[in-house]
Amino acid sequence: MIEQAVTNLLSNAIKFAPRESLVEVGVDLEPRVARVWVRDEGPGISAEDRARIFQKFAQARSSSAGWETGAGLGLYIVERIVTAHGGQVFVDSEVDVGTTMSFTLPLSRPDAGG
């Protein structure tokens, strides 16, 4: 399931980033969590859209850049998968600069006493 979450984030980054721009993927280990992130140089997501992009069937508004649209399920699915595994999803975006989508997953199960 985690693979699907990463695939959805990558798919969005590739879909919205300009052709031949950089899309980066990484994993950072923090004291209690692993942070998986995908960064693009796309058009960014407005504050208004950031507030709703994890809702079922939500889509960011198209801009003059000609964004492609989808079913509005990708980020909703990411959020459901990640929270089911005890993690959180984050978005850091600046319009006309790009977006970093990330999620954290606990390195040990909460009931493992870790």
> The pTM is what?
0.83
CA distances from 34 to 39, 84, 85 (A): 16, 15, 12
pLDDT score, position 56: 86
DSSP code of residue 112: G
Architecture of the structural domain at 2-109: 2-Layer Sandwich (3.30)
Q: Phi and psi of 81, rounded to 5°?
A: -65, -50
Chain segment 53-76, per-residue pLDDT in tens: 888 887 666 444 444 456 678 899
pLDDT score, position 9: 97
